[in-house]
Protein backbone atom coordinates (compact mmCIF):
# COMPACT_ATOMS: atom_id res chain seq x y z
CA UNK A 1 0.00 0.00 0.00
CA UNK A 2 1.16 3.52 -0.76
CA UNK A 3 0.82 6.24 1.88
CA UNK A 4 1.11 9.84 0.69
CA UNK A 5 2.45 12.20 3.35
CA UNK A 6 1.55 15.86 3.69
CA UNK A 7 2.51 18.76 5.96
CA UNK A 8 3.66 17.60 9.42
CA UNK A 9 3.75 13.93 8.35
CA UNK A 10 6.00 14.72 5.40
CA UNK A 11 8.22 16.86 7.62
CA UNK A 12 8.55 14.10 10.23
CA UNK A 13 9.38 11.37 7.70
CA UNK A 14 11.42 13.53 5.34
CA UNK A 15 9.71 12.10 2.26
CA UNK A 16 6.48 12.40 0.28
CA UNK A 17 5.34 8.79 0.41
CA UNK A 18 5.85 5.41 2.04
CA UNK A 19 5.17 1.92 0.74
CA UNK A 20 3.98 -0.35 3.56
CA UNK A 21 2.77 -3.90 4.12
CA UNK A 22 -0.04 -4.08 6.67
CA UNK A 23 -1.88 -7.01 8.23
CA UNK A 24 -5.43 -7.74 7.09
CA UNK A 25 -8.31 -5.83 8.67
CA UNK A 26 -6.17 -2.76 9.42
CA UNK A 27 -8.17 0.44 9.70
CA UNK A 28 -6.97 3.75 8.35
CA UNK A 29 -6.87 5.08 11.95
CA UNK A 30 -4.59 2.17 12.95
CA UNK A 31 -2.33 3.10 10.05
CA UNK A 32 -2.27 6.67 11.38
CA UNK A 33 -1.30 5.37 14.82
CA UNK A 34 1.47 3.28 13.27
CA UNK A 35 2.87 6.37 11.57
CA UNK A 36 2.63 8.47 14.74
CA UNK A 37 4.28 5.93 17.08
CA UNK A 38 7.89 6.48 15.87
CA UNK A 39 7.34 10.26 15.65
CA UNK A 40 5.63 11.36 18.91
CA UNK A 41 5.57 15.00 17.75
CA UNK A 42 2.79 13.94 15.35
CA UNK A 43 0.46 12.92 18.22
CA UNK A 44 -0.92 16.45 18.44
CA UNK A 45 -2.37 15.98 14.93
CA UNK A 46 -4.05 12.61 15.64
CA UNK A 47 -7.54 13.96 16.36
CA UNK A 48 -7.61 16.49 13.50
CA UNK A 49 -6.07 14.42 10.70
CA UNK A 50 -8.39 13.63 7.77
CA UNK A 51 -8.00 10.34 5.93
CA UNK A 52 -8.33 9.66 2.24
CA UNK A 53 -8.38 6.31 0.50
CA UNK A 54 -8.12 6.14 -3.28
CA UNK A 55 -8.96 9.85 -3.71
CA UNK A 56 -12.01 9.81 -1.40
CA UNK A 57 -12.24 11.07 2.17
CA UNK A 58 -12.82 8.13 4.49
CA UNK A 59 -13.87 7.51 8.08
CA UNK A 60 -11.13 6.47 10.53
CA UNK A 61 -12.71 3.03 10.96
CA UNK A 62 -12.55 2.23 7.23
CA UNK A 63 -10.73 -1.04 6.56
CA UNK A 64 -7.79 -0.84 4.20
CA UNK A 65 -7.44 -3.14 1.20
CA UNK A 66 -4.27 -4.35 -0.47
CA UNK A 67 -3.24 -1.84 -3.14
CA UNK A 68 -5.01 1.17 -1.59
CA UNK A 69 -3.46 4.62 -1.85
CA UNK A 70 -3.88 6.39 1.49
CA UNK A 71 -3.36 10.03 2.40
CA UNK A 72 -3.19 11.47 5.89
CA UNK A 73 -4.00 15.16 5.81
CA UNK A 74 -3.36 17.20 8.94
CA UNK A 75 -4.50 20.82 9.03
CA UNK A 76 -2.24 23.04 6.97
CA UNK A 77 -1.69 26.76 6.95
CA UNK A 78 0.08 29.17 4.73
CA UNK A 79 -0.66 31.15 1.68
Summarize pLDDT for 33-56 with one digit per residue, the tens. Answer: 999 999 999 999 999 999 999 999
Residues forming a β-bridge with 69: 2
CB 53 within 8 A of CB 62: yes
SS3 state at 30: helix
For the cut 70, the answer to whether the pLDDT of residue 79 exceeds it is: no
| Structural domains in the chain plus CATH codes | 2-73 (3.10.20.30)
Q: Which residues of 35-65 are buried (b: 16+ CB within 10 A; e: fewer)?
A: bbeeeeebeebeeebebbbeeeebebebebe
CB 30 within 8 A of CB 63: no
Summarize pLDDT for 26-38 with one digit per residue, the tens. Answer: 999 999 999 999 9
| pTM (2 d.p.) | 0.87
Amino acid sequence: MTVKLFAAYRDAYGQDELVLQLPGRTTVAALGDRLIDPHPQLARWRSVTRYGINLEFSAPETLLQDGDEVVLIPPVSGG
